[in-house]
C-alpha cells in the first residue's frame, strides 16, 4: 500500500501566497494607501503565509516525504520566495508608498 503524496520535494514545489487579495481586502475602495493600511495587509498576509507553510511542511515531514533538513529548506525557501513576491507587489502596485516607506515595510515583514 502506498501513501498519497502530501508534499513533493522542496525543489519541485513553490508555495506563493498572493498578497494582492489580502491587500485589496484591507485597502478596499480607497485609492490612497498609507503605511498603516500596508502594514495591516502585510500582517494578515504573513499570518496566512505562516499557516500555509507550516501546514505543508508538517504534512511533508510527518508523511516521511521530506527529511528534517528538507523540511527546513522547504520552509525557508518558500518564505524567501514569498518575501520577494511581497516586495515586488509593493514596488509595482504602490510605487509611491514603496519609495517613501520601503524600509519600514521590510522591517515589518
Is 92 among the domain residues?
A: yes
- What domain range includes position 48? 41-109
| 7 lies in some domain | no
List own/partner pairs for 27-34 with CB under 8 A and 24 or more apart: 33/94, 33/97, 34/97
- How many domains are there within the chain? 1
Do the domain assignments include residue 56? yes
Question: What is the per-residue pLDDT across 57-90, written as a single tens digit (0 to 9) for each?
Answer: 999 888 888 888 888 888 999 999 999 999 999 9
Indicate the pTM of the whole model. 0.78
What whole-number distance in Å separates Cα of residue 32 and Cα of residue 8? Answer: 41
pLDDT confidence band for 2 (50 / 70 / 90): very low
Specify if 100 maps to a domain. yes
Nearest to 96, CA basis, from 18, 3, 33: 33
Amino acid at each position: 500500500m502506498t501513501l498519497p503524496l502530501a508534499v513533493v520535494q522542496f525543489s519541485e514545489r513553490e508555495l506563493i501566497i498572493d498578497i494582492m487579495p489580502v491587500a485589496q481586502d484591507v485597502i478596499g475602495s480607497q485609492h490612497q494607501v498609507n503605511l498603516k493600511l500596508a502594514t495591516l495587509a502585510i500582517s494578515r498576509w504573513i499570518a496566512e503565509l505562516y499557516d500555509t507553510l507550516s501546514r505543508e511542511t508538517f504534512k511533508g515531514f510527518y508523511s516521511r516525504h521530506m527529511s528534517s533538513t528538507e523540511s527546513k529548506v522547504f520552509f525557508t525557501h518558500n518564505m524567501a520566495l514569498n518575501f520577494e513576491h511581497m516586495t515586488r507587489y509593493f514596488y509595482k502596485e504602490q510605487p509611491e508608498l514603496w519609495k517613501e516607506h520601503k524600509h519600514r515595510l521590510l522591517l515589518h515583514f
